[in-house]
Amino acid sequence: MYIIAKFVFIFFLILSNISTLYSAENIAYINLDFILENSKIGKLIYKDLNQINKKNLEELKILESTLKNKENEIKKKKNIISTTEFNKEINLLKNDIQKFQIKKNEMVDVFNKRKNTQLSEFLDKINPIIQKYMSENAINILLDKKNVYIGSINFDITNDIINLIDKNLN
């Protein structure tokens, strides 16, 4: 019994010396998508990308309608022309469709490369601003809002960063 009482006494003595742990790290989070959509430079990037995308879609619609017209003409001629002529025209149409697909894929690749380049340049431009803000406000860790499950609104510095970006980048 004496040993158990001694053990309990030592156990409580050890527990009384353990203090509550508090994080010394100052953590905040930002919404990068919101910054891109609502900062002046981000809006310019979106506007540029939307114009390019719209132009590409219009060009592809024109090419697609041309191909559909060719297909309809071939269908109308089916009973009038010989099978060899019909097969030649079908093969030409297939070649045109392949060229269309290649052009479409090239347009998508060029668009995606431009988008990635512009987003990368945007992040390179805002990174020093964010780092300066972090050092001025003693923030040690900055997370993207997408990776935060729940957080206090007090730790969201998105609007502050947007204001700084708009002020520093013209």
How far apart are alpha carbons 159 and 66 in whole angstroms? 48
- pLDDT, tens digit (0-9, with 9 covering 90-100), for 72-106: 988 888 778 888 888 898 999 999 999 999 999 99
What is the torsion angle, in degrees rounded to the nearest 10, for the CA atoms of residue 25, residue 141, residue 170 and residue 118? 180
What ranges do the domains of the chain cover?
2-168
123-143: per-residue pLDDT in tens? 999 999 999 999 999 999 898
Is 62 exposed, middle or buried, given 0-12, 13-18 or 19+ CB atoms closer than 10 A?
exposed
> What homologous superfamily is domain 2-168 in, according to CATH?
Skp domain (3.30.910.20)
| Rounded CA Rg of the chain | 32
State the Cα–Cα distance between residues 65 and 69, nearest whole angstrom: 6
